[in-house]
Chains A and B, each alone.
Chain A
Amino acid sequence: MPSAVDRLAVRGAGQLAGRLRDAAAAAFVTLVLALPLVGLRTVDQGGALVLETRWDWVAIGVAAVFVGRLALGLFAHLRLRVPRVVPRVAQGVAMPWLAWAVAGFAVALPFLPFADRYVIDLGTTLLIYVMLGWGLNVVVGLAGLLDLGYVAFYAVGAYAYALLALNFSLSFWICLPLAGLLAALFGIALGFPVLRLRGDYLAIVTLGFGEMVRIILINWQSLTNGPNGLPSIPRPSFFGLPFERAPAEGTTSFHQFFGLDFAPEHRLIFLYLLILALALLTNVFVLRLRRLPLGRAWEALREDEIACRALGINPTNVKLSAFAIGAMLGGFAGAFFATRQGFISPESFTFIESATIVAIVVLGGMGSQIGVVLAAAFLVLLPEIGREFAQFRMLVFGLAMILIMIWRPQGLLGHREPTVRLGRAAAPRP
């Protein structure tokens, strides 16, 4: 009769055999994939294409996968413990101080000693993404409609601004609301066909919509100048005072009016403060809407559409309003983008932009305003910091994203602040 120790050893051996089999299977898959992908390579040899074999690389790859898989199996019990996703509870610590600190820093930034052109320019880019994130937050975070084509509204806003300013010489302050309005109309136009869709289906259709807009921009030569883009879009002026060293005859430029020396930073700082003001306005607007019946209906729709219908809420209107308002905010950001760059082309509005904005919203914690700021900072600044890694920086970026999703699957700030509290809102009855 085998002793307990023997039996344990037998079981251990059985487990080892299983793991070896598992590792061998993984190595086999690697072999099949690597043979054509890694093993064969075409080289240009004196004008003729020659097939070169690299079996040593294949062997190294297969061996690495075998050893790695085996190690993963043997040391499975040492793996990182992933925290369970805690359900979102309405109660928790709000962080108003954090929001105020971030806002204060953002206002002071251009006047700080280390703020050179690069910093201000980076800050402007960051704020564009923050504004886009807040706009998309209405659609994804509040209304729960996964929109993967948000960049389409950004593009509509940018092109609307550029075309209005170029063809009708309207000023920035007239073009901005028009661009937002046009983007909102596009939002409704997208909203109608997708009213019945939810989840994955909605994501796919909106993704297609985003691509459609980009392809139309490329092909509608007569209007958009196709892939060449629209150059020399008018820059915004400071209430009629242009930022130029030598203003045109009969106009005063900003530095002349204020008796300053001309500095190219003036325009940069003005643009930075302009997008900061637009972003803060967006924030106040969205926060305010969230506390109104419309905002609550968005969140209710995200939670349970059937219950909404049973309570007499028109889901069509609620969804369309979310699409329209989200699109309008994206359109504002697009108009600003166009005036800041002075040149736009369809290349600025690819799917990767939509993906980045969705990542900002999801990473920030769906529906959290300050979370969007942190996530935007993370997503915009990390690639900048990672510039030293050159071609590996997207790899580092991806790794960082995966780690964050493992440790904080609810987003950086997944806390939801109630829109109203009983204690504060209604005075106790006499």
Chain B
Amino acid sequence: MSAPPLLEVADLEMRFGGLIAVDQLSLTAAAREITAIIGPNGAGKTTLFNCLTGFYRPTGGRMVLHHPNGALALDRMDGYRIAARANVVRTFQNIRLFPGMTVLENLLVAQHNTLMRASSFSLAGLFGLARFRRAERAALERARDWLARVDLLDVADLAAGTLPYGAQRRLEIARAMCADPVLLCLDEPAAGLNARESSALGALLLEIRAEQAIGILLIEHDMSVVMGVSDHVIVLDHGRKIADGAPAAVRHDAAVIKAYLGEDDDAALPPAVAADLRAGQGGA
């Protein structure tokens, strides 16, 4: 049998009082793959991310990450430890940068734990020991590398909050990559981007997948990005998984179409998606 997938979620359940936001959800995500999670608004996608990254403690089920250093039970870890030890790093639907700090500083904060260890919790840093200076140079080099990739080198010394929206989205992804993820969770990275920026984002994600041995979980409403980059699509509706498979298979799935379109009313669907779905059906 082959190695286990990077992430295994089994029977995950998240209740808020009487509301079941995530209901008996099981899914897997593999390393070197982009797994898209789609579904109508309120389907429980972001709740799933919040459980995975320790912002919520799930009310039931298991989440296991097969980290290179050994399997970790995410449901028993909390808060910052999931990012620090399990290397599950996320971005946010409404961008959360450090707006008053510069772009470069944002990327250095992401490397906090590595740098903190190198600075012996500030002692080596205070006296400017060579060990710390080396680590800092390496961190800067890494930040510079990611800035070049997301095309933000020119604005490295500007406050992050002053960047245009699209640049802030790219910076948030670069910052997450600087935090050394094993599993990268992107919450609607294409929201608010124009068509050109969205396709650049897709290219960036494919590049990351090709170069890094990490898994990517992608929540996205922009179907052109989802269909263009994902290896695997999971569809949620009302907290349950209603479809799971290759992008082409999912878009023809009757349950998916029903979730998006309703029984016989396609007003709920963005026109572009409706047209896309119809074209897909026609082609089949």
Contact = CB atoms under 8 A, between A and B. Distances in A.
A416 B113 CA distance: 24
B96 interface: yes
Interface stretch (B78-86, B234-242, B255-263): B78-86
Contacts, number: 145
B84 A314 contact: yes
B153 A90 contact: no
A313 interface: yes
B110 interface: yes
B119 A426 contact: no
Interface string B167-205: 000000001100100000000000000000000000000
B116 interface: yes
Nearest to A314: B80
Given A293-B115, A304-B96, A425-B140, A312 B108 contact: no
B105 A312 contact: no
Interface stretch (B4-12, B22-30, B156-164): B156-164
Given A294-B122, A422-B156, A313 B112 contact: yes
A299 interface: yes
Nearest to B116: A293
Nearest to A300: B109
A289 B157 CA distance: 20
Given A309-B83, A310-B92, A303 B112 contact: no
Size bracket of the A interface: 35 or more
Question: Which of A89, A90, A294 is packed against the most chain B CB atoms within 10 Å?
Answer: A90
A87 interface: yes
A294 B117 CA distance: 11
A296 B83 CA distance: 18
B112 A310 contact: no
A88 interface: yes
Contacts of B83: 309-312
B162 A89 contact: yes
Interface in A79-93: 87-91
Nearest to B84: A312
A87 B116 contact: no
B23 to A, nearest CB: 25
B53 interface: yes
A134 B101 CA distance: 20
Contact of A289 (B110, B126, B144): B126
Chain A CB within 10 Å, residue with most, of B92, B96, B179: B96
A296 B108 contact: yes
B80 A292 contact: no
Interface string A391-430: 0000000000000000000000000101111110110010
B42 interface: no
B125 A292 contact: yes
Contacts of B97: 303-304, 307
A288 interface: yes
Interface of A: 87-91, 285, 288-289, 292-294, 296-297, 299-300, 302-304, 306-315, 416, 418-423, 425-426, 429
